[in-house]
Amino acid sequence: MDAVMRKPDFFIVGAPKCGTTGMYAYLKGHPEIFLPSCKEPHFFGADIPHPRRLTPEEYISLFAEARDEKRLGEASISYLFSQVAATEIREFNPSSRIIIMLRNPVEMLYSWHSQLLFLGIENVSDFERALNLEEKRKQGLCRPDPDVAPQAYYYREVVRYTPQVRRYLDTFGRERVHIIIFDDLRSDRVRVFRETLRFLAVTDDFQAELKVVNPNKVVRSGNLQTFLRQPPPFVQALARALMPRRVREVLYDRARRLNTSYKPRPPMDPELKKRLRAEFAPDVEELGALLGRDLSQWSKR
């Protein structure tokens, strides 16, 4: 009789640019935890379109290599913003545990815009102008890439954390939701990591290499980045005809790395930063009340 395929039982659901890639990398090395090589499968969240959503069979197959690990999980940043992913995850596995990571909304917005620029799915390099295009983009206008989920460009909505977090608390209960503040991760990675291991009920004496993961990136060549992201059909056909899939993946990854440069982003315009802090202050206060934590420093720096 075939072994029953195990389901994932914990999910890193977001938010974007809040340390999820780092936490995924730290947890992946733990001997009692299995995470698939595919980060961001975006299987749940039917309200957020994706060019090719995995079938249930394809999704479960991501965990086929799991053996006797105590926990199976995955990480997809779209799940927090989605209005239906929490319910879908509960229906899929009612015993799931949820990890939510949050960051100062002004910092997160600036970092998210930089990430979209790097990926080639944002074509407005001026941060303030991109923010001001949000309403037009909600109407289907000025979107740089029609294949990208439109919610990626809803900058202000992405950082309105309170209703997103409340959905998961209401769906799973506080005891099954672990919330990590990015400031804490940045100041004491060891403590935050061990608290997360205890939440997942695995041994917390594992020594992980807690280095910075996913720093700010810029492309060396925008044209090359566009080519790598959307190669012409004849190039795709030729590559498939001449090279095995694994070879294509290795070459793509090598080209992408060569086209990537790591460097800090210039500071945000002080006046814009001040306006955004004031704009998000009510949301920050509401989130602090929900979490029982003073987050007022987010409105001051």
Q: Residues 219, 118: contact at Cβ < 8 Å?
A: yes
Name the pairing type of β-strands 260-262 and 217-219. antiparallel
Give pLDDT, residue 2.
44
Give pLDDT, residue 58.
93
Domain locations in the chain as residue ranges: 10-216+264-299, 221-261
Q: How far apart are the first and last CA of the chain?
A: 59
Helix (H) / strand (E) containing 34: strand 33-34
What is the Cα–Cα distance from 194 to 36, expressed in whole angstroms? 21
Q: Which two tokens stand for residue 262?
A: 């790591």
Give pLDDT, residue 1.
33
Dihedral of CA 127/106/187/39: which sign?
A: negative
Long-range CB contacts (within 8 A, 24+) of 193-200? 193/23, 193/26, 196/23, 196/27, 196/99, 197/30, 199/97, 199/99, 200/10, 200/27, 200/33, 200/70, 200/71, 200/73, 200/97
pTM of the model: 0.84
Give pLDDT, residue 239.
58
Give pLDDT, residue 51.
77
Tell me the CA distances in angstroms from 140 to 64, 133, 143, 145, 146, one per residue in order. 39, 11, 7, 11, 9
Give pLDDT, residue 262.
57
- Kindly report the CATH class assigned to 10-216+264-299: alpha beta
Q: Residues 132, 109: contact at Cβ < 8 Å?
A: no
Q: Give the residues of the chain that fall short of pLDDT 50.
A: 1-2
